[in-house]
Structure 1
């Protein structure tokens, strides 16, 4: 609801995890071991992207019917705020105002510390270590240094073309959004598949919409490190069993506060460090939600093309859904 000046009124969300049990570190470590896929693939630093074959790509292209193209990257955000503690940079480096030969040119510079809440980005396998180990067991201190990552960098991944599945939980529940702190559990994933007539399969990319940007637009920004809707760790064995290749969200996939004692981002640890599944964070899924509802189709062709950054732990990205 707008205030009399039509400015959004920020609503500080509760810092309570809803609909999810607290998990001990011992229980989490057992879960980590259960979903771990170390030693399964070569090259290992592509992780679960090794699941996607030419047959997966061909089947994904068959999902294109209307040809509707939906980008999911946020606008480049240079404004500091509660959910953008490290604003991106954009400034002009050439205004064409020095007497040049024709034609004159206009140039600009962009930069970002993108592993935050402000930039849509991909987490490569070098981004997360658990108990000092990267995916496949290598020691993080030995493999990631000042010059970048020597294992699991984003350049090892390359582009991904596969079937995308939108789990639009607010649409399933008849709400505009999930409240910060609301956990999406395994049973919620199964219920969403039935309600949206989708089936998560091997090599698929799963995108979870919690309605973050709808809530932000109507109620104002908030500190996403303190409270955000996302997956509870008990959903991860199901996604591991289905053999997904990529996981993403309009948050960062983790419910916050964390349900795991003493661990800040347990879904990151399970997906990236245990399962070898890269993550897409901070996607704007509002347009895709509308397009999926209009067509009645929550499966689509997904294209992800990260920047080719040798040694990079991830990349800003603008994924594309084609319906």
Structure 2
């Protein structure tokens, strides 16, 4: 009997050595994968249950020297002044002359950063298999001079959905899991049982390793991070129907990579069509044992990007 393909198990476009790039069940023009599960009815249903007496900020601050992905030589976060109150008087760069800025003080600044810095979302063009990405995108036909023409965060809607945090570190009775610990499906299932929560199709599933307890110590946070293994990603995506998976660590899966390079990333993007959200601060949620809530994320709309900073909050439900 042939396998039934659906939006949990999309039809493969290519398979080699068990590595599958999927055809989107939402059509040839799809660029957002499982975010297609967001619709007015689902958003209205979750917004109608909000208990707005407390909102948990899940995003981290951006500052020079902050922990950020640097293994492949990507640029760290930096910020600098482009205009200062006294400088505007001295050099006249605003074009209005010193008299104006003696009265009207003027400051301005600029930033430089990797798009996967701080609390952010990874897009489906970030990684794939053998040069092919989700829905069959390839560099030959879909990569321009500077950016991808498919899959950028400019396509993403506000992400407003039910969310469950699985506190795996808490289930182990520790502040943070051991270095490079691989979170298995059994770990996730144990957290589900302990917390008495239910995972549903369309959830943003957040997995707490406790690594944020090391923030902002750069080495302690980045090196040898625990995270979910490939079997866990498959269980969440194929069995429970996670729309996206979020981690409190730098790369969702364990660091450093050993036998394979980013197997969880490549599977989630190219095979499942599911986004990854990283560097999410779950410490306050864990301290108050808030496990079910509304997730509200607003990805920056960066045309063609492989990732984008994303301010996000958790709002408890009634």
Q: 2:36 aligns with which of 40, 43, 50?
A: 50
- Change beyond 3 A, Cα 1:75–1:160: same
SS across alignment from 1:90: strand
Q: Within the alignment, does 1:233 sit opposite 2:222 as a pair?
A: no
SS across alignment from 2:206: strand
Aligned-residue offset at 1:210: 0.6
Q: Which has the larger radius of gyration?
A: 2
Match runs of 1:132-143 below 5 Å = 132-143=131-142
CA deviation map 1:151-180 (0-9, x unaligned): 111111132111111111111121111112
- Alignment correspondent of 1:15: none
SS across alignment from 1:177: coil
**CA RMSD in angstroms, aligned pairs only:** 2.5
The answer as to whether partners of 1:232 and 1:255 remain within 8 angstroms in 2 is: yes
Q: Within the alignment, does 1:77 sit opposite 2:63 as a pair?
A: yes
- Alignment correspondent of 1:94: 83
Tell me, in whole angstroms, the C-alpha distance in 1 between the residues paired with 2:255 and 2:292: 27
Q: 1:247 aligns with which of 229, 245, 248?
A: 245
The answer as to whether partners of 2:161 and 2:203 remain within 8 angstroms in 1 is: yes
The answer as to whether partners of 1:72 and 1:319 remain within 8 angstroms in 2 is: yes
Higher relative contact order, chain-length normalized (CA < 8 Å, sep 6+):
1
**Length-normalised TM-score, structure 1:** 0.80
Q: Within the alignment, does 1:306 sit opposite 2:299 as a pair?
A: yes
Long gaps (5+) in structure 2: 1-14, 90-97
- Alignment correspondent of 1:109: 110
- Change beyond 3 A, Cα 1:186–1:213: same
Long gaps (5+) in structure 1: 1-26
The answer as to whether partners of 1:83 and 1:223 remain within 8 angstroms in 2 is: no
The answer as to whether partners of 1:250 and 1:282 remain within 8 angstroms in 2 is: yes
Aligned-residue offset at 1:192: 1.1
Tell me, in whole angstroms, the C-alpha distance in 2 between the residues paired with 1:28 and 1:268: 17
**Length-normalised TM-score, structure 2:** 0.81
SS across alignment from 2:212: helix
Deviates more, 1:205-214 or 1:104-113: 104-113
Q: Within the alignment, does 1:205 sit opposite 2:204 as a pair?
A: yes
CA deviation map 1:293-314 (0-9, x unaligned): 1xxx311111111111112222
Q: 1:40 aligns with which of 9, 14, 25?
A: 25
Aligned-residue offset at 1:270: 0.8
- Alignment correspondent of 1:126: 125
- Alignment correspondent of 1:318: 311
Q: Within the alignment, does 1:282 sit opposite 2:283 as a pair?
A: no
The answer as to whether partners of 2:55 and 2:315 remain within 8 angstroms in 1 is: yes
- Change beyond 3 A, Cα 1:70–1:80: closer
The answer as to whether partners of 2:22 and 2:270 remain within 8 angstroms in 1 is: no
Tell me, in whole angstroms, the C-alpha distance in 2 between the residues paired with 1:107 and 1:287: 33
Tell me, in whole angstroms, the C-alpha distance in 2 between the residues paired with 1:37 and 1:194: 32
Q: Within the alignment, does 1:264 sit opposite 2:253 as a pair?
A: no
The answer as to whether partners of 1:197 and 1:298 remain within 8 angstroms in 2 is: no
- Change beyond 3 A, Cα 1:112–1:82: closer
